[in-house]
Structure 1
């Protein structure tokens, strides 16, 4: 099987085909352009050897691999949502005393240190202010599980504060 080096000067011939494939993968013109650009940057970062089929199949495989890597990376990142100006439940008071701000940060740090299951329920009910049924629906768990995790999480927070005092 003869192999050849990928010639960067021949890449423009494949860009339209890569764009169409990327558009089909991402279903977004903007994301497709970014995907093609990221793929070409990775391919051009170092010398490449393509198989007997040529550069086209090699580039399409690189495009697919780049897309899959981006999806995996995106799946590991938390989904962020902006806070509304009126929603002050999740942040320290704006005009509070420094002691209040420090206390709020300590409480949030203690909540963050809880096991994931308890932290999610405490955040939903005590921090975000959801009802038990709403929290159960959002977290996709039974209401009884919400109540038991909330009880255990609160008990753990109280014992952590008692131990610190």
Structure 2
């Protein structure tokens, strides 16, 4: 364990399920696809344990989740039609706001964004990474994250104000 690194503890993965599920749901727009994506992510992580810097578990897991999503082809399939009952069926780990009408509208609007904007919003606004952590997880610059957040939030607000 050089330079303050340690191996990711498989036992600690459970503590990240809620955040990863919210991120996966934000990326896929589908409860089933989100569950599959989290499972595939954990499978990849457990097959190839890594040494991480202190407190970098979530950043690493988000990067694996994103790469898994892209490589599986789900990035090309944006959910276009979801039944209203699927939103009602969403249980924890989605927080109560996503079960409200406004929360559903935000998740619907999120699916309309381009992939880079959606990834930035999911990283920062959905799972709560700092700008620096999001930049590291998405392999881009911090300024790019801030720009994408600004544009993505503006586009979501405009869609919601326009009624969808």
Asked whether the two chains share a fold, i.e. TM above 0.5, the reply is no
TM superposition score normalised by structure 1:
0.42
Larger relative CO (CA 8 A, sep 6+): 1 or 2? 2
Q: Which has the larger radius of gyration?
A: 1
TM superposition score normalised by structure 2:
0.42
